[in-house]
């Protein structure tokens, strides 16, 4: 490891499907700077989130713990600002807590969406955040120095301008820095984006996002956007505008002479389907919630020229709950031993090695009563209490079209996967925040749950039928 401790920039997008980047094979969408990170580092082809919706996924990235440990189970609908604001993960220990303790200056610009958006938390000494989780792309509601403000201009540029100013202030300081750059792009609405970029997709055939027959479980965005070329152009424009600003960040690191010793990470908080499987959305784009690959698998590229190999494709399966212990290990920092962390240190994967140190690589997901186990060959989705359940042979059916859960030929495989899944969750779930039997419908979380609150029965919004 370099004698000089590296800076870290973690760029986190919102609702970006793994298919929505050029380096993942999409020849229609323009992402030269995401591709630039991949070409100077590692592209992960099998990076899975732990919950296919934003707030719980972000909590897991920070804490290394699953939703049924940290208690954030859905996107946070209430408690971001105002008299009822609540810190949803105040009792957790995040990697930024530890980095700050060991000398990193930690800053955040952009989306927080884990409650109490006005208050710096978890080691962040700099805090410029969105008041909520998203909204209009122009004149966005932000928080600066604890004050609620309206930030004029296109919010992607506002976040980037703030990030560049932070880099300039800390590039040659006495301490390394960590900067979270959390874009709201490409989350809806798909309007209000730079018109010249929108217009540049006028002739795009959008073969990369086929508008399939509407899924029988499709809800929400699907019925308003399926087949709508203006919405597709808006989504692509949101990604490309954000990518251009990623390029501004990379350029500034080079101008400041610190690119070689800066670890740049690019991730999304959850995947997204733009007509794939017949719906628009993520895990809560259907009801029951779904665990399709486009919902749980996200773009993940990272680059650290001083240490990481360049132009590497990493096919090992890794999960968002591996991220916190791996980042800390990569930085030679202690990993908390008292948090019952489900993830593992996969630094070997970050360094380009196929062997992650796990003989049987499996990832698990949850979204309320919907839980999933995925191996390299199989996926089993169990919905408590009464189904419907799904099982897919990913080798012969990678697009998840043929549900084998009721096929007697595969009953033994199904039972084995179900038992392994339940054993894993039994090992890690904390009973007072267990999401399995809570009324989580994808309509948002209204308050924290756990011992210091009520039983959680009123903590989730009801689904609008």
Q: Any idea where the domains of the chain sit in the sequence?
A: 7-350
Region 54-80: what's the mean pLDDT?
A: 97
Share of the chain above pLDDT 90, in %: 93
Q: Which residues pair with 263 in a beta bridge?
A: 8
Q: If pLDDT is split at 50, 70 and 90, which confidence band does 2 have?
A: very low
pLDDT of residue 455: 57
Q: Which residue has the tokens 């972000």?
A: 58
User: To the nearest whole number, what is the mean pLDDT of the chain?
Assistant: 95
Q: If pLDDT is split at 50, 70 and 90, which confidence band does 251 have?
A: very high
pLDDT of residue 450: 78
pLDDT of residue 456: 62
Name the pTM for this structure: 0.97
Region 145-161: what's the mean pLDDT?
A: 97
* CA torsion angle 402 294 69 413 (round to 10): 20
Interatomic CA distance for residues 56 and 465, integer angstroms: 24
Lowest mean pLDDT among 81-85, 255-259, 270-274: 81-85
Q: Counting Cβ atoms within 10 Å, is residue 175 exposed (0-12), middle (13-18) or buried (19+)?
A: middle
Q: Which of 381, 9, 347 is nearest to 170 (CA)?
A: 9
Interatomic CA distance for residues 326 and 335, integer angstroms: 9
Q: Counting Cβ atoms within 10 Å, is residue 452 exposed (0-12), middle (13-18) or buried (19+)?
A: exposed
pLDDT of residue 311: 96
- Enter the tokens of residue 187: 């989350």
Q: If pLDDT is split at 50, 70 and 90, which confidence band does 280 have?
A: very high
Residue 172, pLDDT > 80, answer yes
For 7-350, CATH number out of 3.40.50.280, 3.50.50.60, 3.40.190.10, 3.40.720.10 equals 3.40.720.10
């Amino acid at each position: 490891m370099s004698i000089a401790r590296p800076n870290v920039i973690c760029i986190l997008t919102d609702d970006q499907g793994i298919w929505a980047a050029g380096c993942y094979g999409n020849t229609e969408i323009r992402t030269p700077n995401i591709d630039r990170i991949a070409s100077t580092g590692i592209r992960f082809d099998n990076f899975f989130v732990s919950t296919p919706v934003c707030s719980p996924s972000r909590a897991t990235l920070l804490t290394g713990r699953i939703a049924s440990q940290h208690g954030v189970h859905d996107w946070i609908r209430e408690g971001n600002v105002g008299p009822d604001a609540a810190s949803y993960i105040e009792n957790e220990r995040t990697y930024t807590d530890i980095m700050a303790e060991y000398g990193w200056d930690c800053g955040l610009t952009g989306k927080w969406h884990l409650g109490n958006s006005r208050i710096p938390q978890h080691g962040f000494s700099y805090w410029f955040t969105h008041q909520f989780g998203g909204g209009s792309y122009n004149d966005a509601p932000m928080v600066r120095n604890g004050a609620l403000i309206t930030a004029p201009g296109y919010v992607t540029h506002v976040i980037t301008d703030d990030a560049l100013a932070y880099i300039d202030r800390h590039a040659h300081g006495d301490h390394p820095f960590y900067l979270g750059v959390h874009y709201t792009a490409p989350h809806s609405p798909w309007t209000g984006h730079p018109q010249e970029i929108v217009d540049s997709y006028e002739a795009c055939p959008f073969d990369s996002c086929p508008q399939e027959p509407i899924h029988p479980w499709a809800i929400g965005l699907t019925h308003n956007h399926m087949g709508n070329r203006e919405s597709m152009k808006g989504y692509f424009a949101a990604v490309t505008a954000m990518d251009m600003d990623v390029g501004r960040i990379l350029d500034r690191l080079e101008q400041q002479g610190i690119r070689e010793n800066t670890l740049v990470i690019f991730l999304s908080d959850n995947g997204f389907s733009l007509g794939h499987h017949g719906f628009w959305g993520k895990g809560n784009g259907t009801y029951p919630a779904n665990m399709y690959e486009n919902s749980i698998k996200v773009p993940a590229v990272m680059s650290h020229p001083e240490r990481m190999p360049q132009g590497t494709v990493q096919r090992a399966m890794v999960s968002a709950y591996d991220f916190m212990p791996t980042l800390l290990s990569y930085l030679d920092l202690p990993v908390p031993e008292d948090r019952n962390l489900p993830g593992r240190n996969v630094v070997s994967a970050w360094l380009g090695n196929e062997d992650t140190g796990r003989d049987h690589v499996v990832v698990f997901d949850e979204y309320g009563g919907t839980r999933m186990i995925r191996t390299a060959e199989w996926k089993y989705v169990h919905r408590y209490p009464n189904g419907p359940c799904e099982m897919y042979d990913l080798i012969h059916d990678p697009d998840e079209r043929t549900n084998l859960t009721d096929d007697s030929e595969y009953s033994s495989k199904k039972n084995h996967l179900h038992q392994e899944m339940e054993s894993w969750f039994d090992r890690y779930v904390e009973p007072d925040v267990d999401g399995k039997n809570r009324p989580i419908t994808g309509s948002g979380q209204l308050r924290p749950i756990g011992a210091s609150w009520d039983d959680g029965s009123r903590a989730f919004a009801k689904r609008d039928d």
